[in-house]
Amino acid sequence: MASADALKDKIKVVMFDQYGTVVDMQKGLVAIATPFLEKKGWTGNPNSFVTWWRRTHFENSMIDALLHREHTSYREIGQRAVAYTMDRAGIRYTKEEVQYLVGCIEKLECFPDVPEALARLQTRYKIVVLSNGDPDMLEAAKAWHRIPFDKVISVAEANSFKPHVATYTRAAEIMGVRMDEVLFVANHAFDCLGSKAAGMHSAFIDRRRRPFGETPHQPDLWVDDMKSLADLMV
C-alpha cells in the first residue's frame, strides 16, 4: 500500500465509480421507489426493496461478465433485476413501469460532499468516471450530478462489467496513463479490489462503516468521505 504523500507524486488520474460513490444510489432510489410502491399497495420496506434490486442487479452483472459472451447493457440487466425483485415481492407491474424505475438511475444526485471535493481534486489531477452504466445513461446523468469530469467512460468500451480486469485496463488506455498512475475511488470493496488487482492504486470511501474484508488487494487509502480524500490528496 502507498501513502497519500507517495501517491501525490505519481497519480495523474483520479478515477471514480459513479453509482454509489459519486451519486447516492440507495437514498435516491428509495425516494423514487417509495411512492411507486405505495401506489402499488405494497406494505414492505422500500429500503429493503431497493437493496434487493441492487443486489440482484450486481449478481446478474457478475454472471454476465463471467459468461464472457456478448456484453449485456446495464439497462437490460437493471430491468431484469427490477422485474425479478417485483416478482419476489408479489407486485404486479408492466414493462413500462420497469423501464421507468431503471430510467430513474440517470437522475440520481451527488452525495453532499462530492462537488466541492472533486473540484479540489481537479485542481491537481484529471478526474474521470469509470462506470458499469451504459454510455447514454452516463451522458444523461451529467445534467443531474453536474460534475464536470474530464472524461466519463462506460465499461461498454471493454465489453464487460467491473471488476473484470479489462475494464480498468481499457480505461487507463483511454486516458493514456500507466495503471499505477491511476487512483481508483469507490464506496464499495469490489471496485477497490478489482482496480488494485489490475494494477491501479485504490481509495475506499467508507461511508457505511463496514469492514473491507480479507484480501491481498487492500486499498491504499481508507477514508470516511470524499472530503477526507481531497484533504489527503490535494
Q: Which residues are catalytic?
A: 17
Q: How far is residue 88's CA from residue 130's CA, in Å, rounded to a whole number?
A: 31
The three cell numbers locating residue 210:
463496514
Q: How far is residue 197's CA from residue 209's CA, in Å, rounded to a whole number?
A: 23
Rg (the chain; Cα; Å): 18
Q: How far is residue 228's CA from residue 217's CA, in Å, rounded to a whole number?
A: 21
Tell me which residue of 109, 165, 110, 105 sits closest to 133, measured CA to CA.
Answer: 105
Contact in structure between 216 and 196 (CB atoms under 8 Å): no
Contacts of 226 (CB under 8 A, 6+ apart): 111, 113, 114, 117, 118, 185, 205
Contact in structure between 114 and 129 (CB atoms under 8 Å): no
Instruction: For 82-119, give the DSSP string.
Output: HHHHHHHHT----HHHHHHHHHGGGG--B-TTHHHHHH
Quick one: how far is CA 46 from the chain centroid? 21
